[in-house]
Amino acid sequence: MAHVLLLGSGLVGKTIAVDLATKHQVTVIDTSNANLASLPQNENIHSINQDATNIPNIEKYINNSDLIVGALPGHLGFSTLKKIIPYGKPIVDISFFPEDPFELDILAQQYNIPFAMDCGLAPGMSNIICGYSSTKMNIERFKCMVGGLPQEPKWPFKYKAVFSPMDVIEEYTRPARFVQDGKRVIKDALTDVETFHVKGVGELEAFNTDGLRTLLRTMSIPNMVEKTIRYSGTTQYLQFLKEIGYFSDKSHSVGNSDIKPIDLTSKLVLPHWEMKPEDRDVTVLKIEIDGAADNKQIHIEYDLIDRYDTETHTTSMARTTGYTCTALVNYILKGSWKKIGLCPPEEFGKDEHAFNYIMKYLSDHGVHYTKRS
């Protein structure tokens, strides 16, 4: 039984803690008493009300751990990880931080640890699938569309935040990077909207977001794009909010105060996005891969439709993200992963043993990917 230190216990962090506690001792650090109170009474889960970014205050917990899991909001992830790496503990992280993760590669190598990043759904499993597929064919096109949605969409937002709400807004504002005909392309998020229907879910749309992440650097694929899925009509109101300036972080003088529109938007909108106890979600992921092997053209699709678990009261996004993370945690702890330095999820996909382990782990937890060719 290993000792795992978990930084953050939000919607996904809680699921990570519960799953890891079936095999390990888990120490959870969070500033939110409400988050810690939501953790189940379990002799293998130990809650600490501390600021996970204040490293001196949590140093003893870092030193006592065998592995650290980062589940902090994106804006806190990079700086916190940079301070933790020198303690020489393996790290598995799900924070969607905006900084360049390759800046941490040399540091992780220096301290002889694996630093597995973006270990969630997308980025995460999408990268793992891409990496695995690259060992079977010469990939010419990779397309991922993914989104967490309420099972019962309600006007006007048709949305509930199934992970950090501020990270959701970041998806709508961060420029989307993708590859077209071998050239790097940058467009605004919320562009190139396409519509489609998913049986049992409804009419959906997908728009450009910046989810390819490390694939842009680690994979030589001439055409790659990642899009976020929402219910039909969502993009229009998001584009309105963005166009009028409600997502801007530029200060404006209002009366005697300086106000950032993004702060006001967060204050007003996020309560409408907050998951209520009665809310149920569904996660939709669609991956299309085209390539060639043995002089034959190959087309492969991976699909996932996962719903809220009514038995464990676990959101689908927490399941599909959290169990990917815990699969990698367990794989590293059992000594099966030998690489050190920055380990993007696609590297695990390129290792067939790791890929099969992860897919079986997810299937055993009720998360089933369907592959068609």
Structure-block tokens of residue 333: 């702890």
Model confidence band, residue 165 (pLDDT cutoffs 50, 70, 90):
low
Q: Average pLDDT for residues 234-256, to the nearest whole number? A: 91
State the CATH number of the domain containing residue 18. 3.40.50.720
What is residue 170's predicted lDDT score, i.e. its pLDDT?
Answer: 82
Residues 256, 259: Cα–Cα separation, whole Å? 10
Tally the domains of the chain.
2
| Residues 162 and 41 both lie in one domain | no
| Residues 188 and 294 both lie in one domain | yes
Domain membership of residue 80 (yes or no) is yes
Model confidence band, residue 168 (pLDDT cutoffs 50, 70, 90):
confident
| Residues 149 and 233 both lie in one domain | yes
What is residue 164's predicted lDDT score, i.e. its pLDDT?
Answer: 65
Write down the residue that tokens 């001439």 correspond to: 222
Mean pLDDT of the chain: 95
Residue 333's domain comprises 3-120+317-367
What is residue 304's predicted lDDT score, i.e. its pLDDT?
Answer: 98
Domain membership of residue 373 (yes or no) is no
State the CATH number of the domain containing residue 198. 3.30.360.10
pLDDT at 162 over 70: no
| Residues 254 and 218 both lie in one domain | yes
The candidate with the shortest Cα–Cα distance to 8, out of 84, 87, 102, 113, is 84
What is residue 267's predicted lDDT score, i.e. its pLDDT?
Answer: 85
Cβ 37 vs Cβ 49: under 8 Å: no
Domain membership of residue 141 (yes or no) is yes
